[in-house]
Amino acid sequence: MMAQPDPNGPIGVAVVDKAAGLTSHDVVAQARKVLGTKKVGHSGTLDPGATGILLLGVGPATRLLRFLTDLPKTYTTEIVLGVETDTLDDSGVVTETHEMTGITADAVRAAASDLTGAIEQIPPMVSAVKVDGKRLHELAREGKEVEREPRPVTVYRYDVEPTDDPLVFRAEVECSSGTYVRTLAADLGTALGGGAHLRNLRRTRIGTFGEDEAAPVEDVVVLTPGEGLRDYPAVTIDAGTAALVANGRVLSRSTVGAEGDGPWRVVDQSGALRAVYEARGEDEVKPAVVLPGP
């Protein structure tokens, strides 16, 4: 049942388990109906064929999405050796095949190890990256392929295990934001002297948000903004400082008790998130987002 619109509207972060066949935009459209508000956005696009965790910002918390996007992500998938596709996954058209039946599990693990750490990755043509103001997937639909600049990403873990099919490997990848697992699969095939694509891609974790907290969009629950940004360190402020924060004031580190590099969740005495602050020079912090007060 569609929720009745709230004049104030809900605010917070929702952890959705996206079903296959839906675009991330589809999930947002459904969440707007379920939550009764137009103010919904998503962090970290998932391909229509992929499943798993999609974080939504609701109400003024949509302004927090960039911090959620920056969190590391974990995926599971299957990599099919010997077949390349134009989308780098099983939704695309086969573009080339290779004889790769002699590849050993040790060779696959070694190639995956070489793709671990700080690497540069060329975004696939079927992606949301913009080149000259146009998204790559739009150009791909027009039959165009353009030059793409490599982008630095970090692969923290790239574990591969054989299956009953000698050309199919299960993989689990933990990586930085902006990493394309499809490209990792294709690069693995290339490194092994052939080609590859992936299938059954699932995002199992974003930061500390795991599958156990995710729900189908029709059963979505909105966490508080503070819970949504739990992966960032918190500083607690008194009422006087809260008034300054509400006005978007630049403050000294000592005033808010900010240590380290930030950004920081700035919470009041009740534990409510009032703002997110970032470093400004060595001694000051500045507001990145200020949320409406109680």
Catalytic residue annotation: 47
Q: Which residue has the tokens 């750490």?
A: 117
- Does residue 262 contact residue 279 with C-beta atoms inside 8 Å? yes
Count the neighbouring beta carbons within 10 Å of the beta carbon of residue 130: 11
Count the neighbouring beta carbons within 10 Å of the beta carbon of residue 132: 6
Per-residue HEC secondary structure of 205-232 comes to EECCEEHHHCECHHHCCEECHHHHCCCC
Count the neighbouring beta carbons within 10 Å of the beta carbon of residue 211: 14
In whole angstroms, give the CA distance from residue 146 to residue 140: 9
Buried/exposed code over 21-51 (b: 16+ C-beta within 10 A; e: otherwise): ebebeebbebbbebbebebbbbbbebbebbb
Q: What are phi and psi of 223, to 5 degrees?
A: -80, 160
In single-letter form, the type of residue at position 232 comes to Y
Beta bridge partners of 131: 134
Number of H helices, E strands in the chain: 8, 19
Q: Which residue has the tokens 């966490």?
A: 223
